[in-house]
Each structure stands twice: as C-alpha cells, then as structure tokens.
Amino acid sequence: MCDTVRHDVVLGMDFIFEFDVDLRGGRHMWRAREEPWHPSKLPEAEDRPLLFAECAGISLCEPGEVERLNELINRLLPEDNPAPGLTNRSEHHIRVMTNTPVRHHLRRMSPAMEAVAQAEVKKLYEAGFIERSASDWCSAPVIVRKQDGSNRFCIDYRDLNKVTLQDQYPIPNMDGILDKLRKAKYLSKVDLKNAYHQIPMEEHSKPYTAFAVPGSGLWQYTRMPFGLCNAPRTFQRLIDSLFGPVDQPHIFGYLDDIIVATDSFDEHLRWLEVVLTRLREAGLAVNRKKCEFCCQRLSYLGFLLDSKGLRPDPERVAPVLECKPPRTLKELRSFLGCISWYSRFIQMESSAKIPLLKLTKKDVPWKWGPEQQEAFDNLKQSLVTALVLARPDFTKPFKVQSDASAYAIGAVLTQEHEDGEHPIVYISRVLNKAEKNYSTTERECLAVVWAIKKFRPYLEGYTFTVVTDHSALKSLQTAREPTGRLARWALELQNWTFTIEHRKGTHMKMPDFLSRMPTQDDEVAAFENVNDPWYLDRLADVAKFPRKYREWHIDDGLLYRHRKDELLDPIEDGVEGWRLIVPAEHRPRVLQEAHDEPSAGHLGQGKTYDRVARQYYWPGVWHDVQNYVSSCDVCQRYKLPQTGPQGLLGRRIVGRRRGRHDGTTTLKNWLQISLGVPRFIHTLRGIKATTAGER
C-alpha cells in the first residue's frame, strides 16, 4: 500500500472494482484481493479545505496543451452566448393518419396559473419559438410544478402522437458504438443546448402543434417542441448528416451526446475542431458548461470509457453493493427471493445460500453470524458479476421493471434471451421526506419516471415495455385531465414510446428487493430521533436491569419484547415471538403500512391488529389500531357496510288503556313487567320471583 500520501483521499467505486476491495462496514474491516482483513478506523472529519474534489474526468493536457485547447474553445465556443441555435440542415415533419383534427377543450385555470401560462407564451413568442395560429388542431397546455417550486409549461401531445405516422429512421446501435470506442486515450463530450428547440418545424406541420391558452388565443410552434413522438428520430437524422461513418472511430453521435475519441492530443484537437466547426456551420448552439474536453475517463451510454477499454459504470451495480445485511426475517426472505429469481446466472447458487436458509427454518432463533455474513457477501458479489456479464443487445426489446415501497424505489433494466430474462442495470434510491407522503400510485409512477430517465441511453428512440405490479398505472397514458405530479409525469412520459405490462408482485422479485433492501435499515433510520419518554425509560431500565426484564431484549439499540402468540406467529417464523417496540412518534407509520399499503388492502380492525402484532408491540396497540382504522378516510368513503339492509319502520299500535300489561320476562329468578303507554314503553323495576311455597 502507498504510505507517502500527505492528504486524505476519497476513493471511488472505480478504485473498489480495480483492486477488488471488500468492505464490511458493520465490523469496520476491509481487505483487497483476498488479502487478510484489516481494521478500518476512520477519524472524525475535520473542517479543512478540500484539495482534490474529483479525479475522474481530469484533463490529460500539459500546461502548453491547455493553452492550445482553451484557444480553440474560446474561438469556436463564445462564452455566455444566450442566443438560441437554429439549424438550417433539418426540419421536423408531422404526418397524421386521420382527417379528424385533435381538439382539446380549453381547460379552466386559476388566475395564478393563467398568469404563468401567459407569461410563458410571451417568453416563447419573444424567443421566436411560437407564432399566432389559425389551425383546426388544438392540444391543451398543462402547468406542472417542478421540485424547486417553479412552474413548467407543457403541451399535452398524447392524442396527437396516437394519430401520427411513426418515423422509421434508425437509431444507432449503441453496442456497435461502444465496441468502436475502446481504448481511446483522449475523450471529449459535447453537449447541445436545448437540442430540440434548435430544429425548425416544417411549414405544413406547424398547425398540428397548435395549443390554446386562456386570454391569449391560439398559438403554434415554429421550433420542434418536446413531447412529439418522432422528435428523437428527427434529431438523430440531423446528427447523422453532420457526422457519418467516415468520421468514425473518432466522432460518434448518439442523439444529443457527441463523443470525440483519439489516441494523441494533436489528433484530438483536430477532430474536436471539426466537430465544433460543423456544429457552428449547421447553426447548432453548444452548452459549454456541460461539455467535457480531453478527459481520461468519461461516462457514456451507461459505461465508463478510458484508455484501458470499456467497463461497466459503477453506478449500475452500486445499489447491490451498498445493500446492508438483512436485520429481519422479512428482509432476508426478500433477498433470497431476488437471488432465486436470477439463480440461473449464479454459479452454485443453491449451496451458497445454505447458511441463510438455516435462519428461515422453524424454531431457529435469529442469529446473524460470520457464516451468514460470508454467504451474504458471496451471493451479493455473484449477483453483481451476473449483471456485469449481461451486455445490452439493441436488436432486442428492453423491459423496465420498477417497484416502490414506503421508503424507497427501485428498478432493473432487463432483456429476454433464450435462457431467460437477463438484468442489464440495477438502480434504487431512498425516498426523501416529501416523497414518502406520496400516495401508492404516485410512488409507483415516480419509480417509473425516474427509472426511464436513468435508462435514457438505452431506451431513447426505441419501443420498450414498462413492467409494474400496480395496475393503476395503466390509466396514466389515457387520463384526460391529469393534475399535480401525475400531470407532470404524464407529460414527461409522452416523449417515450412504450407499453405498460402488469405483472403480479410475486414475479417482481428484483425490483421489489431493490425498493425494500436495507441499504439504510428502515427501523434504525426511523428510530434515530426518539423523544418518547416511556420508550427511553424502558430502554434504560432493560439495559440496567436485564434480569428484572427477562422478557425484554436490546439488539443494536432497538428494544424488543417477547410476546409469543400461537395464533399470530406463523409456523415457519423463527423469531420466537420477539416484537419490536415502537416509540410513540413512529407508530403512525407502522399503522399506515399495516393498513394502507396495497398488500394490506385496508383490512378491518382485527386483521390490521394481527398484521401489526406479528412484528411490533407498544402499550395500547389494540386501542391505537381501532382508532386508526375507524378514522381511515378511504375506508369511510369506499367500504360498503357488510350488514344486511334495515327493514322499513312499521306503525306500532299502542293501546289507549293506561296500565295495560304488554309482556312479562323472566331473567333467572327475577320477574320483569313492561307496561305500554302512548308514545313510549315503560319498564317497571324487576322484582324477585317467588312461589306460593316460599311465601
């Protein structure tokens, strides 16, 4: 190891791959290339200036070469050029398959949203992107709020896309591009600014893009807008006209990603000048801030390119590598389900998971030891290896499988081959505080939109399938007037050509695992800030007097209580009745997951209590379940009463004679007499029944 480093260094995923570093964060151990384990003692971070922020993508240029590169960039790419580009090499054509125009009714807007729409129309008109229209076609605008709080002006072209004749211009095969990009020493990436808006609309196609805004009249685009189904192929046709096969293997253009790759600096400078000159002659504007010049490593189309060749992007396998060991039987079963789903790609999968299967057997206490940790690490690495070996085949259709849980979303890009479904890329992330409050449908839709964005290098320009276990997403493509977040996502998805396939949750092992895997254990994360006095006092008492609280147990800072219940505990459960104690501030979340989740199905009080009591406990849990279920808004709105219909009120004939005897009832040894009087029934006080002999 290097012992001459004078500064703290942050090592990335590429370093871990290169030196085969194995980390065990829970035990503070590490090793490299099967060497002995070493303790890792990380000191507390000091407030010192950061000297090295990033090494990946650093320029290879010498001082003299940097001056030559800057001179070229400043000459061909003027800094802070706000003028939008407009190419003279291409136009966007729209051909429709019907003579019946698509007409959307003018949707009412609030005064605030109407002002936003009119301001956006003014901005587009001043930029020359739209003009007044007299078209018979009219698509509706939609104002959606972005995450930063600002508003985004979009046009709903979904109905127009349905009647548009699909352009069959081919999108380049990325596999062929990646093969030709191997082992280049100098790499540059050129990014175009507002790429679609730099292509003009063909004169006869402009009326199809018409839209109406309240108080502003009818408008149509003069530049190619976002949301048209053939826009990616029009843009690719333009790029191919500028950079053809003659320029390979030095220049590659895949949609708006243009790569320059050479083995020498002089050659790289010459080809870079060719690219920038042709773009300027074609009237295309370059986003200088997003360009990368003369780099030793670039991320492109989901892979890392460098002088050593082509390797998978570490981001593709990071979700699996960062997965922490399961802490509960439920998490272990989720991991084993994921492993079983891809068992055909893992060598000796059955024998490798034997130590983990032991914990799932009946009457086996939960104890995570070195044997289980080693099996977990080996299976995880095998799953990553299986992923790396699966190269994308762009002659076959892609499938995007996504899933969402209460605290995370995950997705996997797959392709169907002769021996089964192959994984290409894994992605997952934890939901932020606001996203955790989304409804189930919104979280599932968020997972789809986020996954498609992440998989853009693979999916753009192709027809693919979105696989989900949430059937409500099928209506997203046909919703007439989506609102809020769903409206924004529906408009973002109209740029893609895909179908939605519903698949049972039991067949969605990998996305389900990615959305629920313990990258950050939800129980630990949830109980970090505990303010419940009862919970804190009991936690301290159990730690101080373990013999007194024999039915209580502390595991990794979490409090458990032993409450064995033969009716609640499943036969195969190996936790032996230990229930996690939930602090007061986190009980609403547990109740929500037990009652509101799709797998819960808004069950009644008894069954919801069963779901909670299988894993959790706190004083008054039954009372809290009753209050939560009885106040559930969904249940109150949509659950039909299970009792039979009530009968009609009938007229009761009441006698007029005062003191009439209506009935006598005997309750054990007591006699009760009811007297019927007008408008009400009066029951006399019961007297003890006696016989003649007792008198």
Convert the pLDDT of each residue in 575-623 to its tens digit: 456 788 888 888 888 888 888 876 677 888 888 888 888 788 899 999 9
Quick one: DSSP state of residue 160? H
∠ CA 622-627-630, rounded to 5°: 120
In degrees to the nearest 10, what's the CA dihedral of 608, 503, 380, 345? 150
Instruction: Tell me which residue of 383, 360, 355 sits closest to 370, measured CA to CA.
Output: 355
pLDDT attached to residue 193: 83
Residue 168 pLDDT grade (very low, low, confident, very high; cuts 50, 70, 90): confident
194: left (phi over 0), alpha (psi -120 to 50) or beta: left
Compute the distance between CA of residue 493 and CA of residue 488 in angstroms, rounded to an integer: 9
pLDDT at 156 over 50: yes
Q: Measured on CA atoms in the order 592, 598, 603, 609, is the torsion positive or negative?
A: negative
Which CATH number applies to 317-516: 3.30.420.10, 3.90.1200.10, 1.10.3720.10, 1.25.40.10?
A: 3.30.420.10
pLDDT at 520 over 50: no
Length of the chain (residues): 695
Tell me which long-range contacts 50-53 makes (C-beta under 8 A, separation of at least 24): 51/7, 52/7, 52/9, 52/10
Domain ranges in the chain?
Answer: 111-312, 317-516, 527-638, 657-695
- Radius of gyration, alpha carbons of the chain: 34
Least confident of 108-122, 136-150, 193-207, 657-671: 657-671
Q: What is the pLDDT of residues 278-317, one digit of tens each?
A: 999 999 988 888 888 888 777 776 667 766 655 656 665 5
Assign 600 to helix, strand or coil: coil
Compute the distance between CA of residue 693 and CA of residue 656 in angstroms, rounded to an integer: 37
Instruction: Tell me which residue of 336, 77, 100 sits closest to 188, measured CA to CA.
Output: 77
pLDDT attached to residue 248: 78
The separation between the first and the last C-alpha atoms of the chain, rounded to the nearest angstrom, is 109
Residue 691 pLDDT grade (very low, low, confident, very high; cuts 50, 70, 90): low
Least confident of 40-44, 49-53, 211-215, 345-349: 49-53
β-sheet bridge partners, residue 553: 560
Assign domain 111-312 to its CATH architecture: 2-Layer Sandwich (3.30)
Kindly report the average pLDDT of the chain as a whole number. Answer: 75
Give the pLDDT mean for 627-648: 75
DSSP string, 166-195: PP-PPPP-HHHHHHHTTT-SEEEEEEBTTS
Longest dimension (CA), the chain: 128
pLDDT attached to residue 47: 43
Q: Measured on CA atoms in the order 673, 677, 681, 683, is the torsion positive or negative?
A: negative
Check if the beta carbon of residue 74 is closer than 8 Å to that of residue 275. no
pTM for this predicted structure = 0.48
Reported CATH class of domain 527-638: mainly alpha
Residues contacting residue 603 through CB under 8 Å, at least 6 positions apart: 595, 611
Q: What is the pLDDT of residues 221-263, one digit of tens each?
A: 999 998 898 998 999 999 999 988 778 778 888 877 888 988 8
Assign 118 to helix, strand or coil: helix
What is the crossing angle of helices 265-281 and 63-76, to 10°? 10
Of 20 and 327, which is predicted with more confidence?
Answer: 327
pLDDT attached to residue 271: 92
Instruction: Tell me which residue of 134, 132, 136, 135 sits closest to 101, measured CA to CA.
Output: 136
How many CB atoms within 10 Å of residue 410?
27
Residue 6 pLDDT grade (very low, low, confident, very high; cuts 50, 70, 90): very low
Q: What is the pLDDT of residues 428-478, one digit of tens each?
A: 777 777 787 787 778 888 888 888 888 887 887 788 898 887 766 666 666
Q: What is the pLDDT of residues 401-425, one digit of tens each?
A: 888 877 778 888 888 877 677 777 7
In degrees to the nearest 10, what's the CA dihedral of 74, 77, 79, 80? 170
